[in-house]
Amino acid sequence: MNHLIDLHPEVKEALENNKPVIALESTIISHGMPYPQNVEMATTVENIIREGGAVPATIAIMDGRIKVGLDEESLEKLGNSEGVAKVSRRDLAEVIATKRIGATTVASTMICAEMAGIKFFVTGGIGGVHRGVEETMDISADLDELGKTDVAVICAGAKSILDLDRTMEYLETKGVPVIGYQTEVLPAFFTRTSDIKLNTVTETTDEIASIIKAKHDLGLEGGVVIANPIPEEDELNKDYIDGIVQEAVKEAEENGIGGKDSTPFLLGKIVEKTEGKSLEANIKLVYNNAKVGSQIAVDYFNK
């Protein structure tokens, strides 16, 4: 255990007694959704995980410490404060050293989770290769992290603002298994389907737990992506959302927005253009990932 980590008592007790713990990122709270929906969403996700038999551990940087598991006051502070830093691998040491408030991305949440001994992580969608990468070289640090950090990530695929084909090619190069849960194709965040067929398809959470257990027994480095589609009743029409994504990407290009500012800008524009429908879908898919992720973790610890 790294000396810079503070474990919430609930998380500490679970880890010491070999109970399932689910890591949760905090960028979705500080940069992904407006207040107060962000705090309401975070609290509901934690409750879904508890109801599923696991212990939630929302991760953030506060007072020069890695907080693994947040109390209500810390969640509120994270969701309603100005200037919260978006912290990926590159930023982790700086934000800790300067004692700023920092919200963890997929990459840094994986790092902190592995330090704490947490094997599972629920999020909305992973980052990936951005559209126009041949000119910008904009590739999320999430993909490199998945290639080397041993945490299983339950998500609704990669964010639909990305180049999904190139994202999958990158993951394949890094040797990252992408497991479809009750789907033969990669879900595209706001929609259940894409044109990208998956190599591994499972029907039960127990099958997924068995694959992850075998990976750990083999000592293979890197993470696993569990692609869990948004529930059918909550998905957006594919043509509708694809058109809006294209508009948002064009606006980002025209405004010279890239790097770590790109995703918050694009998601914010999509919320605006869908009149909040995308935010509602985003929240629903996170709840679904929390439910499925909890079951996978419980199945794993029952093996």
pLDDT in tens, 198-222: 999 999 999 999 999 999 999 999 9
Query: What pLDDT is recorded for position 114?
Result: 98
Q: Where are the beta strands (DSSP E) in the chain?
A: 5-7, 21-24, 55-62, 65-68, 85-87, 102-104, 120-122, 152-155, 178-181, 200-202, 224-227
Q: What is the reported pTM? A: 0.94
Q: Is 63 annotated as a binding residue?
A: no
pLDDT of residue 262: 76
Q: What are phi and psi of 246, to 5 degrees?
A: -60, -45
Q: Please state whether the peptide bond connecting residue 34 to the residue before it is cis, i.e. omega within 30 degrees of 0.
A: no
> 150: annotated binding-site residue?
no
Q: What is the pLDDT of residue 260?
A: 66
141 annotated ligand-binding residue: yes
Active site members? 25, 159
- Give the model's pLDDT for residue 135: 81
Token couple for 275: 């009149």
| pLDDT value for 283 | 94
* Assigned CATH topology for domain 5-301: Indigoidine synthase fold (3.40.1790)
For residue 89, which of 115, 68, 108 has the smallest C-alpha distance? 108
Q: What share of the chain is helix, strand, coil (3-state, %, to 5)?
A: 50, 20, 30
- Residue length of the chain: 303
List, for residues 258-293, the tens digit of each pLDDT value.
776 777 788 788 989 999 999 999 999 999 999 999
Select from 121, 102, 97 the least CA-distant residue to 30.
Answer: 102
Which portions of the chain are predicted below pLDDT 50?
Answer: none
From the list 4, 2, 224, 222, the residue with the least C-alpha distance to 102 is 4
Tell me how far apart the alpha carbons of residues 61 and 54 are, in angstroms, rounded to a whole number.
23
pLDDT at site 1: 67
Estimate the crossing angle of helix 238-254 against helix 262-273, to 10 degrees.
130
Round to whole Å and give the CA distance between 111 and 89. 8
What is the three-class DSSP state of 37?
helix
State the maximum Cα–Cα separation within the chain, in Å, rounded to a whole number.
53
99 annotated as ligand-binding: no
142 token code pair: 């999430």
- Residue ranges of domains in the chain: 5-301
CA within 13 Å, CB half, 187: 29
